[in-house]
């Protein structure tokens, strides 16, 4: 074992760590030296979004001590930025406050209480949810309670062995510059568990629950555009699965508030359970995670199937295709349906505003831009992540009216009263859309094809490559470096006309040598735009040894009757691009 790793192990064996932790380390020393090395070879990085990693002992794991040290650093920064001696806060007789929520994962409640105790010991007022709650409600609570920050304990859709810690700012969004980097600096200053205030401020903790739930439900209900259509189709047959997560705490109530009274919960996945016993990955993007829901939807001949991930910020929907077969819509299709519905319905109802705007991300389907243009609505593209959508809302506040934001990763953010993706409000609105289309005598699937005919047929595909082990991140870095140093001039026979490097904030035309600046913050993303309108994006994860490749192709669709034929041709084109890139 490397000397540096051995030193860290020894520090934990001799330092102020509990007996259970020391026993677990001793067990690894006896039986799993590789596991021990992986647990200590680096510090679990507090990235721009917070922490995420495997649970266990060690500096490279999610545990009481890494969570506590992160919280101490974040508490220090909040106190620097928001002092109770400041004039604005003094008038309210208030100091710094935070809201804390957690999902259904193993240890999430323990980590949430640890986080609350550390904040409270630092003199910060804490609003801690009484039990598990969806991430979007945490974002809403921060704004509703006028907190300066917040934390949700979740690893989103990752496997059961993982947990995470997402930090939020006073507007209910995750951290953006300069706060993200500044918090990281403060966290890095916490060199030892002895630097953490672990207890002593318990009186600063207030438990919250039903009153906040009611306020959130009322907010979501206000997003409905066509309540009169729901009234006519209140018996719309809805199947919903929370996939053992937090969605069960709120979504049935929200659908009831909207007016739907024929909701069927997937029984096998209804109970919150951090072991996620029915799935390999609790991710609604995966058909395996939605398989129970698909079976129930088929059995009941439902109108729509919906599912949320463990912290209920991510959603998936299933609908019947033209042949009556159940299919899962991908994230881009779901976003297209939602964006179009709000723009189209608001215009039809006469509530659209001349300064309406929508926001999406650089790796999401360009079809959204086409729909926005067709509706005379400004569409902005930002970096991947809802914190950047929230940042755009801040920039345009008072000038433009935000309607909806979303990205391909099965996330939507409807209205500006929360500032993170919200699977609860998204499911409610998608069910309203299903009722709206049913009123017109068609399904959401048929509506999607009609949109392809109107705006062009855009098809997307995603490949995710994971490189495990201690050198996984280095392998991915080498892959990106290779693309940067030797970019292809053509892909699948079509010239690369734009190479967009968001890391150096520069765009280049490899054919002409022309260069231009990219007016977005730095991000380790590369995009290849081809002469035929296709695009390929490469984006490494900031928290895992993983790299994602996003593919988008498009063509004209003359009629719904041609859909199957053109769809097959688009699949072949994507396969050819992947083959040419040797992925």
pLDDT, tens digit, 9 for 90 and up, residues 268-287: 999 999 999 999 999 999 99
Count CB-CB contacts under 10 A for residue 354. 8
What confidence category does residue 84 fall into, taking pLDDT thresholds of 50, 70 and 90?
A: low
pLDDT of residue 583: 86
Count CB-CB contacts under 10 A for residue 418. 30
Contact (CB, 8 A) for 78 and 86: no
pTM, 2 dp: 0.94
Span 352-373, pLDDT tens digits: 999 999 999 999 999 999 999 9
Catalytic position from the list 39, 97, 108, 156: 156
pLDDT of residue 374: 96
Span 47-73, pLDDT tens digits: 888 999 999 999 999 999 999 999 999
pLDDT of residue 541: 81
How far is CA 530 from each of CA 243, 456, 507, 509, 518, rounded to the nearest angstrom?
39, 17, 13, 10, 18
Span 30-42, pLDDT tens digits: 999 999 999 999 9
What confidence category does residue 546 fall into, taking pLDDT thresholds of 50, 70 and 90?
A: confident
Which range (9-23, 161-175, 419-433, 541-555) has the least confidence?
A: 541-555
Please measure the distance between the N-terminal and C-terminal CA atoms of the chain and give it in whole angstroms: 35
What confidence category does residue 564 fall into, taking pLDDT thresholds of 50, 70 and 90?
A: very high
**Sheet hosting strand 304-308, strand order edge to edge:** 263-265, 238-241, 304-308, 315-320, 326-328
Q: Which domains does the chain have, with CATH numbers?
A: 42-208 (3.40.120.10), 216-455 (3.40.120.10), 457-580 (3.30.310)
pLDDT of residue 542: 67
Count CB-CB contacts under 10 A for residue 384. 22
State the average pLDDT for the chain.
Answer: 95
Assess whether pLDDT exceeds 50 at residue 91: no
Residue 156 among the catalytic residues: yes
DSSP secondary-structure letter at 312?
Answer: S
What confidence category does residue 89 fall into, taking pLDDT thresholds of 50, 70 and 90?
A: very low
Which residues lie below 8 Å from residue 519, measured CB to CB, with a gap of 6+?
Answer: 505
Contact (CB, 8 A) for 253 and 281: no
Question: What's the whole-number mean pLDDT along residues 105-123?
Answer: 98
What is the percentage of the chain residues whose pLDDT exceeds 70?
97
How far is CA 315 from each of CA 66, 238, 331, 425, 463, rounded to the nearest angstrom?
30, 14, 8, 10, 19
Question: What's the whole-number mean pLDDT along residues 311-325?
Answer: 96
pLDDT of residue 290: 98
Span 199-222, pLDDT tens digits: 999 999 999 999 999 999 999 999
Question: What's the whole-number mean pLDDT along residues 226-247?
Answer: 98
What confidence category does residue 310 fall into, taking pLDDT thresholds of 50, 70 and 90?
A: very high
Q: Measure the CA–CA gap between 538 and 119, rounded to whole angstroms.
A: 38
**Sequence-distant contacts of 345-349: CB under 8 A, at least 24 apart:** 345/225, 345/226, 345/436, 346/225, 346/403, 347/375, 349/225, 349/226
């Amino acid at each position: 074992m490397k000397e540096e790793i051995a030193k860290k192990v020894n520090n934990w064996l001799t330092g102020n760590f509990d007996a259970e932790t020391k026993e677990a380390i001793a067990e690894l020393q006896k039986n799993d030296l590789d596991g021990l090395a992986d647990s200590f070879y680096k510090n679990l990085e507090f990235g721009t979004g917070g922490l995420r990693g495997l649970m266990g002992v060690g500096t490279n794991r999610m545990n009481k001590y890494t969570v506590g040290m992160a919280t101490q650093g974040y508490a220090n920064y909040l106190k620097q930025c928001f002092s109770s001696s400041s004039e604005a806060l003094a008038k309210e007789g208030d100091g710094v406050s935070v809201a804390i929520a957690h999902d259904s994962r193993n240890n999430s409640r323990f980590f949430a209480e640890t986080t609350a105790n550390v904040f409270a010991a630092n003199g910060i007022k804490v609003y801690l949810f009484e039990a598990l709650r969806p991430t979007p409600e945490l974002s809403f609570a921060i704004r509703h309670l006028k907190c300066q920050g917040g934390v949700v304990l979740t690893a989103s859709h990752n496997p059961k062995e993982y947990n995470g810690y997402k930090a939020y700012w006073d507007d209910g969004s995750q951290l953006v510059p300069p706060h993200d980097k500044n918090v990281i600096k403060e966290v890095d200053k916490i060199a030892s568990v002895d630097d953490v205030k672990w207890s002593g401020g318990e009186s600063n903790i207030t438990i919250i629950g039903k009153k906040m739930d009611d306020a959130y439900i009322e907010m979501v209900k206000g997003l409905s555009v066509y309540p009169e259509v729901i009234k006519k189709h209140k018996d719309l047959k809805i199947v919903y699965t929370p996939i053992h997560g937090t969605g069960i705490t709120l979504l049935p109530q929200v659908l009831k508030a909207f007016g739907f009274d024929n909701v069927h919960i997937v029984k096998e996945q209804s109970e919150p359970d951090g072991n996620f016993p029915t799935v390999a990955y609790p991710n609604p993007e995966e058909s395996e995670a939605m398989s129970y829901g698909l079976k129930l939807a088929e059995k009941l001949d439902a109108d729509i199937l919906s599912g949320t991930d463990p912290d209920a910020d991510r959603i998936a929907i299933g609908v019947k295709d033209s042949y009556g077969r159940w299919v899962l819509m991908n994230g881009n299709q779901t976003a297209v349906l939602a964006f179009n519905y709000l723009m189209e319905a608001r215009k039809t109802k006469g509530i659209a505003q001349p300064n309406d705007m929508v926001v999406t991300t650089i790796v999401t389907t360009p079809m959204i831009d086409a729909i926005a243009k067709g509706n005379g609505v400004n569409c902005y593209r930002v970096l991947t992540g809802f914190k950047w959508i929230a940042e755009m809302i801040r920039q345009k506040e008072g000038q433009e009216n935000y309607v909806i934001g979303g990205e391909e990763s099965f996330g939507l953010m409807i209205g500006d009263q929360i500032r993170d993706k919200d699977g609860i409000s998204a499911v409610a609105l998608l069910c309203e859309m299903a009722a709206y289309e049913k009123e017109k005598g068609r399904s959401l699937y048929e509506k999607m094809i009609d949109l392809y005919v109107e705006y062009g047929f855009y098809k997307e595909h995603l490949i995710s490559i994971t490189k495990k082990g201690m050198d996984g991140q280095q392998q991915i870095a080498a892959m990106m470096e290779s693309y940067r140093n030797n970019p292809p001039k053509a892909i699948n026979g079509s010239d690369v006309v734009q190479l967009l490097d968001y890391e150096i904030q520069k765009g280049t035309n490899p054919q002409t040598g022309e260069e231009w600046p990219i007016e977005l913050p730095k991000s380790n993303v590369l995009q290849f735009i081809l002469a035929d309108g296709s695009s390929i994006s490469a984006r490494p994860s900031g928290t895992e040894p993983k790299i994602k490749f996003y593919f988008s192709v498009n063509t004209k669709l003359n009629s719904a009757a041609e859909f199957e034929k053109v769809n097959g041709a688009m699949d072949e084109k994507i396969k050819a691009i992947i083959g040419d890139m040797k992925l």
